[in-house]
Structures are given as C-alpha cells and as structure tokens.
Amino acid sequence: MDELQQKKQMLIQTYKRFTRRELSPIDMQIDQDGMYPVGLFNKVVATGLLSTTLPREYGGAGFDFNATSDALRIMATGNASMAVTLEGHFKTIEQFIKYGNKQLNDKHLPSASQRIFAFSMTEPSGGSNPLGISTIAKKVGDDWVISGDKIMITNGGLAQVYCILCKTDDDQMAVFVVDKDMPGFSFGKKEDFIGLRGTPVGEVVLNKVRVPGYHLLGKVGQGLEIGDNAHADARVLMGAVLAGITEHALNVAVDYSKERKAMDTLLFQMQVTQEKIADIAIKRQNIVNLYRSAANNKVANKPYRELAAMAKSYGSRAAVISGDEALQILGGYGYSREYPVEHLIRDARAMELAEGTIEKMNIEITNAEIAK
C-alpha cells in the first residue's frame, strides 16, 4: 500500500470511529430533536474533521475528493445530517481553492478547520434560476456593498463564512465572501425541514454589508460558473452521502430479515424479501460506482459534472426507493419512528432538491449527452 493509500485508510478509520462512537448511537435522537445535541459540533472540530479537504498550507489534512467522498459515505451510514453539514463546508472550501485570491484565502482558509463555510444562491423568488436573483452588490470606491436575502442555506446559522451569489450594479453575476460578524449581516428564518433534521438550514439577510474588494471570489462575471462548480462538487459528495443512506437502509433490512419470521420462515429466506434486498444492494453499488467515477475524474482533472449530476440524480431516487423497500421488509415496524428507516427516506428525499433539483440535473445530463 503506498503512502497515499495508507493516509486514506487512516482517514476512513477516523470517520468510522467517530461515526460509531458519536453519531450512530444518537442518529434517531438527532432526527427527533431536529438538531445536534450541544457539544457534538465541538467534537467534530476537535477530531479535525472540518479540515479534511483543507490544503496543508492552510493547516488542513489536504485529502482529495476520492478519499473525502468515501469518508462521507461511511459517516452517512450512521448519520446523514452530519455528513451533509460537512459536504456543505467542503464544497465551499473547494471554491476558495479554485477561485480565491491570495489575500482572501490567507485571511479565511486558516480558520476553516474551526469554522464552517457555506454557499448561498437560493432566494425567496426561487433556486432553479440563478439569473433571477435580486441580491445586489454595488461598487463603492474599492469596496462592495451587498444587500439581499438568501434562504434555505445549508449550515445557515452554524456557518461563520458565507459565499453570496450577487448581481453587480452593471448586471453581472459575482460571488462575494461575507463574514457573519460584519455590520448589516443577520440570520433569518430557520427551516423546519422533514429530513436531514440535524443539518441546520436557514436564511441569511444582508443589509448594506460592506466588504473589501478582495472579498470577490474569482472575477466579476464569473458568478454563475462558480455556482455551477459548487453544485458539481456538492453533487459528488452528496452521491456519497446517498450511498451511505442506502447502506444504512440495507443494514437495517438485512438485520431484521435474519430475525423476523413469517409463519415458520425467516424473512431473508423468502424470495419476495430477497428481491428487495438484492435491489437495495444493487442500487447501493450503482451509487458508489457513480460518485467514485465523478470523484476520480475530478481528482484527475477530467470532466466530472455530468457524472456528478448522475450520482445525485440517480442516487437520490435510488436511495428513496431503497428506503421504501426496506420499510416494506420491516412491515408495520418500518412505518414506526421506533426504527430508523422512515427517517432515511426523508433524509434521502432532500437530495432530490438541494444542490439543484432532480429535474435540473436531468436537463444538464441530457444537454451533455446531446452535445457529445
């Protein structure tokens, strides 16, 4: 095993241990309380998980998406909310690495092992059409003054640094970095979503927030490109989370089918159950193959957007169907909050919407195929 593989194994072991000790035992509690227990996020920071993808020059562990996506899959087999919290952070850091100027990155990235970063595009008027946003950035001297309202932001309220997609006063798209402590920044409504109930998702309000010129990510006019890139990165990692959710459903269904009898036959010995278990296992493996293909292409600097869209489009539908099949294997207990399967369906369902709806991804996949 080469050094890279050894380091990856250590990362996987760290995520496995953290998931087994800190997340799996409270997975149901997180769903029922609709929040992380006090102190859990501090443990995530103390274990160094926020710095997984952060480049070494900024004090991070510098893992690529190949290792990181596998680590998030493992975490999601225990708790998908925390895996999505980390996905939101990692995809945002990725945009600093690709588009950030030196002054911006030197100021912000060293703190990314302690502080969560978030990416904000959606507004009350809609998320699928970023050209329709009304958040405005006006140039004042060397600074920019930003006003607008972003909703449904993953880690909204928990994150301390926000990338904000804006329109400039000359009608170009641009992304600016805003710290939560800047004058004029405030948090609004927290969403009461039906799934991923640990992940905070909320509103960010900007009332004439003044940022220095170097807080521009990339260039003016690059806003949509950066947003699309953030989506693609997020979709690779969400594919991994979806594989983890599907594996969680599979584990519950398999365990139950080995204990429960229908008449005198254990469920797993019955063909109707075998068909469902096999279908869930095949779906799990298909999602793994898709997100790994996307991650490998990204790491190799090859095109990965279409594969990333496939991982999340296929993965979200497959995870929801798998959860439903697992529910059926558990019978009435599957429909009960006593077992985790029902919340796995609700968790997976979020990813048919977040980071681009399934319809938008399928348009992108079709366009990519037509262009070949």
Ligand X SMILES: Cc1cc2nc3c(=O)[nH]c(=O)nc-3n(C[C@H](O)[C@H](O)[C@H](O)COP(=O)(O)OP(=O)(O)OC[C@H]3O[C@@H](n4cnc5c(N)ncnc54)[C@H](O)[C@@H]3O)c2cc1C
Strand partners, 137: 146, 168
DSSP for residue 2: -
Question: Among residues 154, 229, 257, 273, which is the contact residue for ligand X, using CB under 6 A?
Answer: 154
Q: Does 122 bind ligand X (CB under 6 A)?
A: yes
d(Cα 294, Cα 304) in Å, to the nearest integer?
Answer: 5
Q: Does 286 bind ligand X (CB under 6 A)?
A: no
Question: Among residues 72, 109, 116, 153, which is the contact residue for ligand X, using CB under 6 A?
Answer: 153
Q: Does 68 bind ligand X (CB under 6 A)?
A: no
Question: Among residues 128, 269, 336, 367, which is the contact residue for ligand X, using CB under 6 A?
Answer: 128
> What values do phi and psi take at 178, rounded to 5?
-125, 135
Beta-sheet pairing, 265-266 with 143-154: unpaired
Question: Among residues 152, 159, 204, 236, which is the contact residue for ligand X, using CB under 6 A?
Answer: 152
Question: Among residues 196, 242, 295, 345, which is the contact residue for ligand X, using CB under 6 A?
Answer: 196
Shortest distance, CB of residue 152 to ligand X, whole angstroms?
4
| Ramachandran sector of residue 161 (left: φ over 0; alpha: ψ -120 to 50; beta: rest) | beta
Compute the chain's Rg from CA coordinates.
21
d(Cα 73, Cα 113) in Å, to the nearest integer?
Answer: 20
Choose the stretch contacting ligand X; rule: CB under 6 A; options: 72-80, 287-295, 299-307, 349-357: 349-357
Choose the stretch contacting ligand X; rule: CB under 6 A; options: 31-39, 57-65, 122-130, 300-308: 122-130
Is residue 230 within 8 A of residue 93, CB to CB? The reply is no
Strand partners, 60: none
Q: Does 273 bind ligand X (CB under 6 A)?
A: no
Here's the x/- map for ligand X, 73-112, by CB under 6 A: it reads as ---------------x------------------------
Shortest distance, CB of residue 175 to ligand X, whole angstroms?
11
Q: Does 237 bind ligand X (CB under 6 A)?
A: no
Q: Does 200 bind ligand X (CB under 6 A)?
A: no
Question: Among residues 282, 359, 366, 367, which is the contact residue for ligand X, using CB under 6 A?
Answer: 359
Handedness of CA 343, 349, 353, 356 (dihedral sign): positive
Shortest distance, CB of residue 241 to ligand X, whole angstroms?
11
Q: Does 329 bind ligand X (CB under 6 A)?
A: no
Measured from the CB atom, the residue of 89 and 283 that comes closer to ligand X is 89
DSSP 32-71: HHTSPPTTHHHHHHHTTGGGSSS-GGGTS----HHHHHHH
Q: Does 132 bind ligand X (CB under 6 A)?
A: no
Tokens of 145: 């003054």
Give the HSE-up count for residue 294: Cα atoms under 13 Å, Cβ half-sphere: 29
Q: Does 30 bind ligand X (CB under 6 A)?
A: no
Place of tokens 């977040």: 354
> Which stretches of the chain bind ligand X, using CB under 6 A?
88, 119-122, 126-128, 152-154, 193, 196, 201, 350, 353-354, 356-357, 359-360, 363
